[in-house]
Amino acid sequence: MPRHQTLPDPSARVQADYRYNLDLLITSHFDGYDTSLKFLDTVLLFFQNNPTFNSKSVSNLPSGIDNLSFEMENLSLMESQNLWAAMGAKYQPSVVFKTRLLSVASDNAGTNVPPISASDLDG
């Protein structure tokens, strides 16, 4: 007896990948304020020289992510103050970068991630 194969419903809509912009707060905390600024300057230079990551420039970029681009956000004094207050932290020299077009495919959304156990944290 032949097996019948169910064909997909042509009226069914395929869920598009979700695309996100991710804001990254990068801060530098050292005893000397000048040392903090020096390390933060190194981060700025890195992203100025590497504003885009792709599979050619980063060999272990996860599949499904074709391109990551980084752009510095210029926060106003009020926005910066609100951000640090929301975290409940004392202001530190910092910079915010917007990561554009981080794409998450719907087939990756169901991936099982193993739980973190206490032994993993004892490391």
pLDDT digits (tens, 9 = 90+) for 25-48: 999 988 999 999 999 999 999 999
pLDDT at 58: 82
pLDDT at 46: 92
End-to-end CA distance of the chain: 58
Q: Could you tell me if residue 66 is inside a domain?
A: yes
Q: Could you tell me if residue 12 is inside a domain?
A: no
Q: How many domains does the chain have?
A: 1
Q: Could you tell me if residue 64 is inside a domain?
A: yes
Q: What is the pLDDT of residues 71-108, one digit of tens each?
A: 999 999 999 999 999 999 988 889 999 987 656 555 54
- Of 99, 98, 109, give the one whose Cα is nearest residue 18: 109
Q: Could you tell me if residue 119 is inside a domain?
A: no
H or E element in which residue 69 lies: strand 67-73
Eight-class DSSP state of 108: G
pLDDT at 36: 92
Range of the structural domain that residue 34 is part of: 18-106
Cα dihedral 30, 32, 37, 39 in deg (nearest 10) = -50
